[in-house]
Amino acid sequence: MVSTCGVGDCIPFRRKKISNLLIKKRYLIDGGEGTQLGSGSYGRVYAGRCIETGTGVAVKIERRGRNSLQKEADILISLKDAGVEVPSVYFSGKQGRYSLLVMDLLGPTLEDVLQLVCQYKPSGAKSFTLITSIVIALRLLDNMQSLHMAGVVHRDIKPQNFIFTLDPRENRLALIDYGLSKKFSAIRADTKTDKLIGTPRFASIKAHKGMAYSYGDDLESLAYTLIYIAKGSLPWWDVDAETPQAGFEIMRRKKQTMSGPAIADGLPSVFGEMIDSARNLEFGTLPDYDRIRAGFRSQLIAHHGTGTPADLAMIRCDWAVFADV
């Protein structure tokens, strides 16, 4: 039997080194310090620095022959121009054997912070508190609305693809890894594929079926992400099967037989309602973000006494424990 956690999310966090790489005489991945930060849809991401300023940068690398990094750079630039919270792009192009994308070096991912926070919890909890989960929900809904208003479908929403600014206490996150993303205008409703696009644990039911991604599929994946950080798991989290494909099919069936409220059992109703709302959206229809946000904000008021946008940065979230250490 093999574990079928899903593509990308079951790979142990590996920190690999890369030989010295000087990019356009301006950015350096040092062989001694070039730590691998992670891996995205098609490439690996390393920490580097700008030689002139010493400022840290993130460098995404893939072998030449693909053009996914240039497409990702184009999407990032267009989203930045539209005011979406994404890393700034400093260089994209080819050099030697590699295609390269140099961008802002931000902080830890949402998954990284969740795991670190749980280490400090004496109860052995594997999730954020409800207040922290709601604050994150409101932040991520803002991110996704901006993304969708810019006409982009991400297609791989998961905790590893939300990254904090350098100071997590600011309660701000950016959405990263646009290697699978597409402009909605380039997606045909009748498109079918025999491959699951995205990360199985967080993929929508339609993604499991190989159907064309739309805005609702991103929203369904975001709902699974929020339930995961609020509960520490999902009903299909640990699946054993003879092959990964068999495991993915088990996940699909599990999702398909469970309603939103059943998946979000034990959480406020807004979590489960978000799943059902996403699943019922017609292809190309934008989610009603105002209504979803209002549901989370009412829960924040009920459990914290306040819920205005200005208050979000002031709420003491779980990661504030780092400042106390």
Task: Please state the residue numbers annotated as binding site for ATP.
Answer: 60
Q: Calculate the alpha carbon distances from 2 to 6, 7, 241 in Å.
A: 11, 13, 6
What tokens were used for 41? 């849809």
* Euclidean distance between CA atoms 66 and 304, whole angstroms: 49
Task: Name every residue whose Cβ is closer than 8 Å to that of residue 314 and which is 6 or more positions away in sequence.
Answer: none
Active-site residue flag, 288: no
Per the annotation, binding residues are 60
Q: Three-class SS of residue 211? A: strand
Contact assessment for residue 45 and residue 58, using Cβ atoms and an 8 Å cutoff: yes
Please give the span between the terminal C-alpha atoms of the chain, in angstroms, as a whole number: 42
Give the tokens for residue 96: 């030697």
**248, 200 contact by CB (below 8 A):** yes
Q: Sign (positive/negative) of CA torsion 208, 272, 165, 115?
A: negative
Q: What is the largest CA-CA distance in the chain?
A: 57
How many Å apart are CA 24 and CA 34, to the nearest integer? 17
Marked catalytic residue, from 156, 177, 217, 318: 156
Residues 177 and 42: their CA atoms lie apart, in Å, by 9
Phi-psi category of residue 247: left, alpha or beta, with phi > 0 → left and psi -120 to 50 → alpha: alpha
Distance CA 22, CA 20 (A): 7
Q: Which residues are catalytic?
A: 156
